[in-house]
Amino acid sequence: MSRARQPPLVTGISPKEGAAWTKVTIRGENLGTGPNDLVGLSICGHNCLLTAEWMSASKIVCRVGPAKDDKGEIIVTTKSGGLGTSTVSFKLLRPERIGILDQSAVWVDELNYYDMRTDRNKGISPLSLRPSNPLGIELDRGKIPQKDMELTFPGMSGDFTSENFSATWYLIENHSGSSFEQLKLAAGNLKKQASRKNEGSLAYVKGGLSTFFEAQDALAAIHQRQESDGTERVEGSMTQRLETILNRASDTADTLFQEVLGRKDKADSTRNALNVLQRFKFLFNLPLNIERNIQKGDYDVVINDYEKAKSLFGTTEVPVFKKVYAEVETRIGALRSLLLDKLLQTPSTLHDQKRYIRYLSDLHAPGDPAWLCIYAQHKWILQLMQNCREEFISGQRAGAGALNPEADARPPGLGRLSHTASLKRGGSLRTPRPSTWRFETPQQVQFVEKLSDVVIGQLPNFWKLWISYVNGSLFSETGEKSGQVEKSKKNARQRQNDFKKMIEEMTHRLVKLVRGALLPTTLQQGELSLYGGWENKSELTGAWLTQIIHTVRGCYEALSALEIPNDLLQVIQDLLLELRVHCLMVALLHTTEDVKRLAEKEDWLVDNEGITSLPSRFEQCVVQMLQSLKEPLEIKPGEMNVLQLEQVQDQATELSVGIMKVFIGCLEQLSTKRDAGADPSHDVSVEMSSPDRFPGLQEGFSPTPEQRLLIILSNCQYLERHTFLNLAHHFEKHGLTGTEKITQVSVDAVRQLDRNLFEAYIERRADPIAGSLEPGIYAGYFDWRDCQTPAGVRDYLKEALVNIIAVHAEVFTVSRDLVPWVLSKIVESVADEMCRLMQCVSSFSRNGALQARLELCALRDAVAAYLNTESTASFKLALDALPQLHSGADKKLLEELLNTFKSSMQLQLTCFQPSSVQPIKR
């Protein structure tokens, strides 16, 4: 445990008396170990800690405040020693305040006073001491404009201290509303003031009589002394005779006491030598004391002792003093070199730098140590930034920053960025990282964050050091050493351009290092060897680039808070602009790749609307991409909107259109893809009684090619009606331009795919049904010209209807919205084929015409819900090709047979009822 220090002891104060705000020097013992150790200082009971400047353990400089006590002790309190004592006291003089209209026997400087707040003198106008209300009554200022008063009283003034004072002006201006009684009272007040002034003049004369008498006595004494000293020494005068007698007596005494006087002289010489050693032991012990205090680090004591020795013996001609003082200078020179080495050491704190600079200034070191320190710090920061790159490039951090080769190099989303705290003044740039952070984060991100830490950690102190150099606070914070402060300010003005180049070099180095890691193509060929070398590192995603933008923005905001000129930070703003554009393009490109992989995630499970999860996945993928761009596209103070750049607009629009086209291409790819176990010979004409003909679309379901087409057709309709509109809204919400173009191109592309897929499906389903009609009609060598009386609808037509019902079931299983659209096209194809077949018949018998009309009417009535203009026209043409029925019996038979058909097929034809049909427009 360290030994407790002794309490402070004040043994001297200079001067020992004075008025308030007098600057005093306090000397003593154990006055503290440093400025932070001094916690209390009172003189005559007044707290003077505010103006105290700790110089050393034996010296404190401060100013005396307006204490209540006229005389009191000087009490020093320190953390290490506690409450101190004093062997001396200070007397506080209280000068009487004298107004500008009062008489005084001494000169009163009324233009200067001491301001404790600023520790310097300020000028004050004598007008500020004039009485504010000379009449002594309440002021009642009028509202007459100043210009009107000047016109009414030309050349006059309402100021009673002016030579052109006008009483009328003053009364109108200050007492326009005062009553006559108040003015009478004001006149009485003026008379009383004049009476007191006359009495004061007489008292002034009476009080100065003693001063006049003392002056007369002093002049008389001086006159007498001058007369006695002016006596001339002439031959035979009393002065000459007295001198002769005294010289003779001295010679006789020397002869008699030569030996005694010799011993006395030797003793006196020895005594004088001892007195000199005792009297000047400070100088003789100074070299050793300097060495000891340097070893202990008490540089303040060394400087104070050196200043004292320099003032006493700096110009001495005594050889022994010169010799000792030369040794002192040698020790001080070594101390200057030691302090300069410490000053230029890195790293060091701003407090230590200021301390060493002040020491060197007090020791009158040659050159400009402050500027040498600034230059050394500049080179050190540049080297730190470069070393940061070398550390990552050389692979020293390969183990810490390696990514899992089996994992996706990109994070699944931006959830991790939500933990990034906003930069606050004095706060940390980033939130604490988990223990696995370095194993997940790409090296470029780690590099930019460490580089930003270096800049934010070092550049503020570097800037504060320059500001202290400019305003002179490196040498004194209390207004002392004004000569050194002015010299520092002059040097700073001369080196302002040099310092500006230093800041520019550091900001450019920061920007080029970041460009080398993220935007190497923006560097010149010769700069790649210094700042590049990241070719083998993993490519960053938009999420990581967003984090880097956040880091660089935090660095910019931290430097802006230091009030560094914007022109010096513009290069960082330019970097931010390019990073934001790069992040936008990378996010769009990576989203394109993600969309390509969506086809692999199609599970073919449809919801109640016939939609799979694929459109939702696509919309979610694009929305997540836009949300990830929220921070990069955000416009911070001083930044510009990247989306207002025409080239960026065009590229973003083209990439966005590409994303849409890629997804539509995925749908097209899925429509033509065949599963390994799919049966290509699967035909729609199967037994309706089969229980597993149309199973529910459940997990593990493998659709047929026709079902794929239907599912993708349903997805295409959903894209056009919902997804593209939602994405257009999100694009506009996030500020992306070209939304109309993106939407239009996307809708056109999906409509084209829709048409192609629809035609493919109709061809697969309609052609077999229509193709089965002709063989069915003429099965068994059927002839329209020679046939029996119709007994009902033949089987071929029932089979065609069953096949149409099967198509209806297949479509309805996927999406009921597609049923009217698909069935109307199937019916149109069947009607067209029936029309062709009827028109190809050369002639009909009576029974043949009745059979043909029965089957046509039965087919038309069965699919009436899905007839369109084309199919209706086809049925009409087919019926027109038949002979007309003239016999009432034939018409009745036709009606009975139709009713019989409808009754027998009622269950099968239920799906064709109009109540279940919801036609849509395509």
Using alpha carbons only, give the angle 493, 498, 503 rounded to the nearest 5 degrees.
Answer: 115
pLDDT at 106: 46
Most confident of 429-443, 669-683, 800-814: 800-814
Q: H or E stretch including 71?
A: strand 71-78
Q: Where are the alpha helices (DSSP H) in 394-442?
A: 398-401, 437-440
77: which 2 tokens? 């309190």
Which pLDDT band, with edges at 50, 70 and 90, does 873 fall under? very high
Using alpha carbons only, give the angle 479, 485, 488 rounded to the nearest 5 degrees.
Answer: 160
Which long-range contacts (C-beta less than 8 Å, at least 24 apart) are formed by 693-696?
A: 693/806, 693/809, 694/809, 694/810, 694/813
Integer CA distances (angstroms), 742 to 616, 650, 652, 667, 751, in order: 18, 11, 10, 18, 14
- Rounded CA gap, 497 and 369, in Å? 18
Cβ atoms of 551 and 572 within 8 Å: the answer is: no
Radius of gyration of the chain measured on its C-alpha atoms: 55
Q: Is the pLDDT of residue 360 over 80?
A: yes
Determine which of 216-225, 295-304, 494-503, 784-793 has the lowest per-residue pLDDT on average. Answer: 216-225
Q: How many CB atoms sit inside 10 A of residue 846's CB?
A: 14
- Rounded CA gap, 262 and 269, in Å? 10
Which pLDDT band, with edges at 50, 70 and 90, does 920 fall under? very low
Q: Which residue has the higher pLDDT, 676 or 444?
A: 444
Q: Partners of 740 in the beta sheet?
A: none
pLDDT at 476: 61
What percent of the chain lies above the pLDDT cut of 70? 79
Cβ atoms of 871 and 827 within 8 Å: the answer is: yes
Determine which of 44-58, 179-193, 463-477, 879-893 has the lowest per-residue pLDDT on average. Answer: 463-477
pLDDT at 682: 41
pLDDT at 481: 56
pLDDT at 908: 77
pLDDT at 60: 93
* Buried-exposed string 430-464: b where 16+ CB fall within 10 A, e elsewhere: beeeeeeeeebbbbbbbbbbbbbbbbbebbbbbbe
364: which 2 tokens? 């009158």
215: which 2 tokens? 């002056």
pLDDT at 411: 39
Give just the sign of the alpha carbon dihedral 775, 781, 785, 788. Answer: negative
Which pLDDT band, with edges at 50, 70 and 90, does 786 fall under? confident
Q: Is the pLDDT of residue 576 over 90?
A: no
Please name the residue that has the structure tokens 């960053």: 540
The average pLDDT across 239-253 equals: 72
Q: Is the pLDDT of residue 98 over 70?
A: no
- Rounded CA gap, 469 and 491, in Å? 9
pLDDT at 84: 93
Q: State how beta strands 38-43 and 46-47 pair.
A: antiparallel
Phi, psi of 591 (to 5 degrees): -65, -35
Q: What amino acid is encoded at 249 in this protein?
A: A
pLDDT at 13: 93
Cβ atoms of 68 and 42 within 8 Å: the answer is: no
The average pLDDT across 747-772 equals: 87
> 540 Cβ partners below 8 Å, 6+ apart?
442, 444, 445, 518, 548, 586
Give just the sign of the alpha carbon dihedral 438, 441, 443, 449. Answer: negative
Q: Is the pLDDT of residue 855 over 70?
A: yes
* Buried-exposed string 795-828: b where 16+ CB fall within 10 A, e elsewhere: ebbbebbbbbbbbbebbbbbbbbbbbbbbbbbbb
Q: Partners of 9 in the beta sheet?
A: 29, 85
Neighbour-count burial of 756, counting CB atoms closer than 10 A to its CB (0-12 exposed, 13-18 middle, 19+ buried): middle
pLDDT at 413: 34
pLDDT at 97: 59
**DSSP label of 235:** T
Determine which of 93-97, 344-348, 601-605 has the lowest per-residue pLDDT on average. Answer: 93-97
The average pLDDT across 603-632 equals: 83
Which pLDDT band, with edges at 50, 70 and 90, does 699 fall under? low
Q: Is the pLDDT of residue 856 over 60?
A: yes
Q: How many CB atoms sit inside 10 A of residue 467's CB?
A: 13
Q: H or E stretch including 464?
A: helix 443-471
pLDDT at 235: 61
pLDDT at 227: 57
Cβ atoms of 501 and 487 within 8 Å: the answer is: no
The average pLDDT across 310-317 equals: 82
Which pLDDT band, with edges at 50, 70 and 90, does 211 fall under? low
Q: Where are the alpha helices (DSSP H) in 473-565?
A: 482-494, 496-518, 528-531, 542-561
Cβ atoms of 794 and 837 within 8 Å: the answer is: no
Which pLDDT band, with edges at 50, 70 and 90, does 921 fall under? very low
245: which 2 tokens? 């007698």
Q: Partners of 29 in the beta sheet?
A: 9
For the chain, give the mean pLDDT. 77
Please name the residue that has the structure tokens 């009158």: 364
Please name the residue that has the structure tokens 């829709």: 754
- Rounded CA gap, 491 and 370, in Å? 10
Which pLDDT band, with edges at 50, 70 and 90, does 128 fall under? very low
Q: What is the DSSP string of 547-615?
A: HHHHHHHHHHHHHHHTT--HHHHHHHHHHHHHHHHHHHHHHHHHHHHHHHGGGGG------TTS--SHH
pLDDT at 352: 85
pLDDT at 247: 81
Which pLDDT band, with edges at 50, 70 and 90, does 209 fall under? low
- Rounded CA gap, 845 and 784, in Å? 6
- Rounded CA gap, 342 and 613, in Å? 69
Of 190, 193, 160, nearest to 174 by C-alpha is 160
> 5 Cβ partners below 8 Å, 6+ apart?
30, 33, 78, 80, 81
257-307 per-position pLDDT tens digit: 777 777 777 877 777 777 777 777 777 888 888 888 888 888 888 888 888
Cβ atoms of 901 and 793 within 8 Å: the answer is: yes
pLDDT at 28: 92
Query: HSE (CB half, 13 Å, CA atoms) of 615?
Result: 24
- Rounded CA gap, 404 and 421, in Å? 27
pLDDT at 41: 93
- Rounded CA gap, 328 and 289, in Å? 10
Determine which of 341-345, 406-410, 740-744 has the lowest per-residue pLDDT on average. Answer: 406-410
Q: Is the pLDDT of residue 678 over 60?
A: no
Phi, psi of 55 (to 5 degrees): -100, -45
The average pLDDT across 184-205 equals: 71
Q: Is the pLDDT of residue 78 over 90?
A: yes
pTM score? 0.58
Determine which of 313-317, 329-333, 434-438, 650-654 has the lowest per-residue pLDDT on average. Answer: 434-438
The average pLDDT across 548-558 equals: 88
380-434 per-position pLDDT tens digit: 888 888 888 888 887 644 444 433 333 333 333 333 333 333 333 334 444 445 4
537: which 2 tokens? 């590192």
What percent of the chain lies above the pLDDT cut of 90? 7
Q: Is the pLDDT of residue 244 over 80?
A: no
